[in-house]
Chains A and B, each alone.
Chain A
Amino acid sequence: MSAFSYTQMIHTLAPQIALLVGVLVVLAIDLGPLRGKSENIRWRGIVLAALLSLLTAAWFTSSLALPASVAELYRITPLSLLLNHALLLLSAIILLLSVGMTPTRHISEYVSLILLATIGMTLLTGATDLLVLFLALELFSLCLYVLTGMDKLKTASAEAALKYFLFGAMSAALLLFGFSYLYGIAGSTHLAVIGKAIAAAPQDPLVLMAIVLVLAGLGFKIAAAPFHFWAPDAYQGAPLSGAAAAATSSKVASFAILIQMLLVVFGTAAGNGSFHFTQPGWLPVLTILTAASILIGNFAALAQHNVRRLLAYSAVAHTGYALVALQSTSPEAVSALLYYVLTYSLATLGAFAVLTVLQQQGYGDRYADLAGFSRRSPIAALCLLVFLLSLAGIPPLAGFTGKFLVFGAAMQGREIYSGAAVLVGLALAGSTVSFYYYLQVLKFAFVVDSATQSGPTPPPTRNYLPLFVSILLALLVILAGVFPSVLLDAIHSAILASS
């Protein structure tokens, strides 16, 4: 190994350093200049500082000279660059949504946790070493556990945080156990080296153990059934923007690392062979996760009466749809998967933005609270229509295009009796089920007339950020659906340039 270059490291990690400075600044200004000011001013000042650090990070990210790497630990590829931009954007939107809407007095802590989580996620997309990977994963997971518990007014929040944490700790243990097998096989923690070692001995039963354990650990992060039990409670109990972070940006980062693990590390595992012709060894396990997620997610969502829980179960189902793409390991399939996850995050984030608007009006998040929503705030209701229909997969929205790309890529070049075609059939059947429950929510928003308010009417708000964010996201969802090639080509060329 060559001598470790610290200038190289600082250069490569400049975005993360910018974020870390942002965290410190946020904490400092809350203790300094903003001390004793009203909550309103504190929120604005702190979020402004955080946004500035995100912007700086984005600027550093785009000015990185490729290829850039930190020893064997962290490597920036065009793909991780693209994903980091997306993650920074998602974090910025999540920050905008939290302004004034999060029931906590610990404003700087809340915001700095979001920034810290962003550091973890952006590190994760470029991790090339098991240890960095695990540290990055735990960095943002720990932040999310705390964010989930930040709603001090609700016991449900604390309960959800504890559940999320316990499940998370369990899955981290499984993941680490799997990693230990990998280390045992290869004698190295570097992903590419492990990949080579597995290629040399693809039939090793230890590999199989490692696959199962790693998929269980990562399955928790992406909320794949049967590792999804934390999701409904966390979505429901957490403050809205915290739940949005767990639902969107964390999922993007986790999918990125899942792809990395499956294709780079386990790509050569016995089944046998890496690409096209034969199936990699992780396929059976992944197929089970996919089918279970589609079935459990959709059927559990049918029984919900709370929008957040519905979003949680539908997230499980969407994880299933996205995983269908990995039936094929072609670059097209991977880009379809990332397109799907990114547009899914936009739509889900949008749904949380609309829930924030609803919360501003003093309503909860049961279906019944949505009654008459289209009369009270027609624009937000229209945005909700866009987001939910996108999730249901109705054109011209991004959800439809994403589904089509994923299913098309999975089936491309296959036979009809292949597992891929069967899974696509299952996914399509699942999406007809999902159409019912999304429509059920929209029925409350548009058809049912009035609702009884759960609390006293709050004073009319002057905070138009959630509404603004909803409109922005709705436009993005529509544009990504009608002109998918812009995003898709960017992802596809990034993947080709990275491999």
Chain B
Amino acid sequence: MLAWTVYISFVAAALVLLVPPRYTSAIRWFALLSAVGGFAISLVAMIANPAGAPVTLVDVPWIPSIGAHYWLSADGISFALCALTGLAATTGILFSWNIEHRVNEYFALFLALIGGVYGVFLANDVLLLFFFYEIAIVPKYFLISIWGSTNREYGAMKLAIYSFVGSAMVLFGILSTYMLTSGVGFGLPDLARHALPHAQQMWIFPLIFLGFGILAGLWPFHTWAPTGHVAAPTAASMLLAGVVMKLGAYGCLRIAMALYPAALEPWGFHIGWISSWRDVFALLAVIGIVYGAAVALVQQDFKFVIGYSSVSHMGFVIFGLMTLTGIGLDGAVLQMVSHGILAGLLFAVVGRMIYERTHTRMLPDLEGMGLASRLPFATVIFVLAGMASMGLPGFSGFVSELQIIVGGWSSYPWLTVAVGIGIVIGIAYTWRVMQRAFFGEQIVSIDRQTEKHEFLPITWPEKAGSFLLLAATLLVGLFPSFLLTRIATAFASPFFDGLRQGRW
């Protein structure tokens, strides 16, 4: 049934494109309905499978001559990320309710992107996964370059090229694997069983990990993320940060780490303190955490703050993966979900609730507007989202970051200290933007001027979207076991045997 999430999204995208753009509200409702449909299917599929046991959804030969299958399957990780995708799609459409320009194309691209994302999370064949992964690149470009704001063509092109370079690296890795494993085909479990020789894994792994890592915002290849997020329309930044960056992290885990686990072993020589690819990527991840947070601390553009905070939070995911402990990996997957929800919420407040009303995102301008009293709803939501993003208990971020740190403590104690510093800076930048954007000293003269044109009230789709996202972060924060049992089952499955090697 879960496979229908893919089909619904693509079919809905095609249908929406056929509707003339003047039927604006019909298009919106139809798009919303199909997104909710996908969301409902992924939730039902997850609830119907309390143990999170891996299930095969479809498996038919696709290109028999090279052994590629149309093979969709789901395990706990896929369930969690599909639910996240459904949530991001639904709320993304709610926060796009004000789109008037070329509505049908907008929602068609949006749904096509979502369909590709579902496909990646469900694919159980490397070629198929890559197929869906690349489908997701093109809609992003057009969503940003047509409906975006600041510097949109630059941001869109940069994002598209970074993604494409990453996927070319991945493709080369896949082709090399195909070259070295004749006859195995492309099924993920088959490839995991027929592990390549150690020496081959050693060079294919970094290629694929880095290729996916570019999309996951791995430092120093993260620079597309802030510019892309800032240029994108609100819903597109919600999707970018919410699910597209997760595609990268998911690829790192599902392909790079699971298929080439031997590459995480030490090289056998040292370069300073670094003695394996694992050390390299753990270090890059931690630099990303601290660097992203530090840069977020000094931004003047509100959206750049959130953009860099995404880089920082995605660093947690990569670091969690590199801990190679059960708890760290669980935490990494949970952090993907958690960041997907929170980044969506933060971008929604900044891009939709504030920018669409004040037409500025610059903190010095916002400071004088007294948003706390004039947009109380946005303020409350942002404060809650900010607290969640800082990692306060009760919200999703707390659980996942705690797990990652616990995992990191046993693998990389010194790096974990740096991660702690990153968290402290995280509190600082969140506090700073909260203070400056919402609780700044209200400048009287500006206030008199703007009082005449009061901000439009918050509309129902914004409220509905915010409540959905808040509910999700609270739910994950208070009952993480709902996801964690399923994720842990997935990591205990034979597919991850090579990676696990009795480690957890």
A residues adjacent to B (C-beta < 8 A): 332, 374, 382, 389, 394-396, 400-401, 404-405, 407-408, 411-414, 416, 421, 424-425, 428-429, 431-432, 435-436, 439, 443, 446-447, 484-485, 488-489, 492
Q: How far does the alpha carbon of A431 sit from the alpha carbon of B135 in the complex, in Å? A: 16
Chain B residues near A394 (CB-CB < 8 A): 134-135, 137-138
Determine the residue in chain A with the shortest Cβ distance to B132.
A395
Closest chain-B Cβ to A402's Cβ sits at a distance in Å of: 12
B141 to chain A: closest residue by CB: A439
With A413-B182, A435-B160 known as contacts, the answer to whether A428 contacts B65 (CB < 8 A) is: no
Inter-chain contacts of B134 with A (CB < 8 A): 394-395, 400
Residues of A near B171 (CB, < 8 A) are 404, 407, 428
B127 at the interface (CB under 8 A from A): yes
With A400-B134, A428-B172: A439-B160 Cβ-Cβ less than 8 Å: yes
Known contacts A413-B179, A435-B164, A424 near B172 by CB under 8 Å: yes
A431 to B169, CA, bound (A): 11
Of B64, B153, B200, which one neighbours A485 at CB under 8 angstroms? Answer: B64
In addition to A395-B132, A411-B178, A416-B179, 10 A-B residue pairs with Cβ atoms within 8 Å of each other are A394-B135, A400-B131, A404-B127, A407-B171, A416-B203, A421-B176, A432-B164, A432-B168, A443-B157, A484-B63
Q: Is the CB of A485 within 8 A of B179?
A: no
Determine whether B142 belongs to the interface, using a CB cutoff of 8 Å to chain A.
yes
B64 (CB) vs chain A CBs: closest residue: A485
Contacts of A416 in B (CB 8 A): 176, 179-180, 200, 203
Q: Do A395 and B65 have beta carbons less than 8 Å apart?
A: no
Is B165 touching A411 in the complex (CB atoms < 8 A)? Answer: no
Residues of A within 8 A of B468 (CB): none
Partner of B145, one of A435, A443, A489: A443
Q: Does B51 contact A (CB under 8 A)?
A: no
Contact of B66 with A by CB under 8 A: yes
- Interface 1/0s, chain B 152-193, versus A by CB < 8 A? 010001001100110010011001101110100000000000
- Report if B146 contacts A (CB, 8 A): yes
Residues of A within 8 A of B146 (CB): 446-447
Given contacts A405-B66, A446-B142, A446-B146, contact A428 B179 (CB under 8 A): no
Residue among A374, A389, A404 facing the most chain B CB atoms (10 A cut-off):
A404
B172 contacts which chain A residues (CB < 8 A)? 424-425, 428
Nearest residue, chain A, Cβ from B164: A435
Contact with A along B50-67 (1 / 0, CB 8 A): 000000000000111110
Q: A396-B131, A416-B176 are in contact. Are A485 and B62 (CB under 8 A)?
A: yes
| Residues 333 to 387 of chain B near chain A (Cβ within 8 Å) | none
Q: Which residues of B contact A (CB under 8 A)?
A: 17, 62-66, 105, 127, 130-132, 134-135, 137-138, 141-142, 145-146, 153, 157, 160-161, 164-165, 168, 171-172, 175-176, 178-180, 182, 200, 203
| Contact status A439-B157, CB under 8 Å | yes
State how many angstroms separate the Cβ of B217 from the closest Cβ of chain A.
Answer: 19
> What are the 4 A-B residue pairs with the smallest beta carbon separation, nearest first?
A411-B179, A395-B131, A428-B168, A435-B164
B65 near A436 (CB under 8 angstroms)? no
Cβ–Cβ < 8 Å partners of B164 in chain A: 432, 435
Which residues of chain B are near A492, meaning CB under 8 Å? 65
A395-B135, A439-B157 known; A429 and B66 CB under 8 Å? no
Inter-chain contacts of A429 with B (CB < 8 A): 168
Q: How many angstroms from the CA of A421 to the CA of B203 in the assembled complex?
A: 14
B180 to chain A, nearest CB (A): 8
| A396 proximity list for chain B (CB < 8 A) | 131, 135
**With a CB–CB cut-off of 8 A, which chain A residues contact B141?**
439
Contact of B179 among A332, A395, A400, A421 (CB under 8 A): A421
The listed residue (A421, A436, A485) touching B157 by CB distance below 8 A is A436
Q: Is the Cβ of B142 less than 8 Å from the Cβ of A485? A: no
Indicate the member of B64, B142, B161, B168 with the most A CB atoms within 10 Å.
B168
A431 CB contacts on chain B under 8 angstroms? 168
* B-side contacts of A421, CB under 8 Å: 176, 179
- In whole angstroms, how far apart are the Cα atoms of A416 and B66 in the complex? 19
Measured CA separation A395–B112 after assembly (Å): 13
State in angstroms the CA–CA spacing of A449 and B179 once bound together.
46
User: Can you list 11 A-B contacts with CB-CB less than 8 angstroms, sorted by A residue number?
Assistant: A332-B65, A395-B130, A404-B171, A405-B66, A407-B175, A408-B179, A416-B200, A432-B165, A447-B153, A485-B64, A488-B63
**A residues near B160, Cβ cutoff 8 Å:** 435, 439
Beyond A443-B153, A447-B142, is A412–B178 a contact (Cβ under 8 Å)?
A: yes
How far apart are the CA atoms of A187 and B176 in the complex, in Å? 44
Neighbour of A424 across the interface among B130, B131, B137, B175, CB < 8 A: B175
Chain A contacts of B130 at CB under 8 A? 395
Question: Closest Cβ of chain A: how far from B204's Cβ, in Å?
Answer: 9
User: What CA separation (Å) do A400 and B200 show in the bound complex?
Assistant: 25
Q: Which chain A residues border B105 with CB–CB below 8 Å?
A: 374
Q: How far is the CB of B359 from chain A (nearest CB, A)?
A: 21
In the bound assembly, the distance between CA atoms of A424 and B179 in angstroms comes to 12
Residue contact B178 to A485, C-beta cutoff 8 Å? no
- Chain A, residue nearest B21 (CB): A378
Give the chain B neighbours of A414 by CB distance below 8 A. 179
Bound together, the chains give a CA A400 to CA B164 distance in angstroms of 13
Which residue of B has the minimal Cβ distance to A332? B65
User: In the docked arrangement, what's the CA distance between A247 and B83, Å?
Assistant: 47
> Chain B residues near A424 (CB, 8 Å)?
172, 175
A431 to B170, CA, bound (A): 13
B251 CB, nearest partner CB in chain A, Å? 15
Q: Nearest-CB distance from A400 to chain B (Å)? A: 7
Docked Cα-Cα span, A488 to B172, in Å, equals 22
Partner of A488, one of B65, B127, B131, B168: B65
Give the shortest distance, in Å, between A334 (CB) and chain B (any CB): 13
Q: Which residues of A contact B178 (CB under 8 A)?
A: 408, 411-412
A429 to B207, CA, bound (A): 13
Q: Which residue of B lies closest to A412 (CB)?
A: B179
Contacts of B161 in A (CB 8 A): 432, 435-436
Q: Shortest Cβ distance from B255 into chain A, in angstroms? A: 16
Residues of B contacting A411 with CB < 8 Å? 175-176, 178-179
Chain B residues near A425 (CB, 8 Å)? 172
- Give chain B nearest CB distance to A183 CB in angstroms: 39
Question: In the complex, what distance in Å separates the CA atom of A489 from the CA atom of B62?
Answer: 12
* A330: min CB distance to chain B, Å: 11
Complex alpha-carbon distance, A446 and B179, angstroms = 39
A439 to B62 CA separation, bound complex (whole angstroms): 29
Q: Measured between alpha carbons, how far is A271 from B142 in the docked complex, in Å?
A: 49
Contacts of A413 in B (CB 8 A): 179, 182
A171 to B105, CA, bound (A): 48
A416 to B63, CA, bound (A): 24
CA distance A421 to B173 in the complex (A): 11
When C-beta atoms are compared, the residue in chain B nearest to A447 turns out to be: B145
Chain A residues within 8 Å of B180, by CB: 416
Residues of A within 8 A of B182 (CB): 412-413
- B contact residues around A407 at 8 Å (CB): 171, 175
Q: Closest CB-CB distance, A383 to chain B, in whole Å?
A: 13
- Report Cα–Cα, A394/B163, bound state, in Å: 12
> Residue of A at shortest CB range from B179?
A411
Give A389's nearest chain B residue, CB to CB: B138
Cα separation A443 to B65 with both chains bound (whole Å): 37
Inter-chain contacts of B157 with A (CB < 8 A): 436, 439, 443
Contact A408 B175 (CB under 8 A): yes
User: Which residues of chain A are within 8 angstroms of B62 by Cβ–Cβ distance?
Assistant: 485
Which residues of chain B have C-beta atoms less than 8 A from A404's C-beta? 127, 171, 175
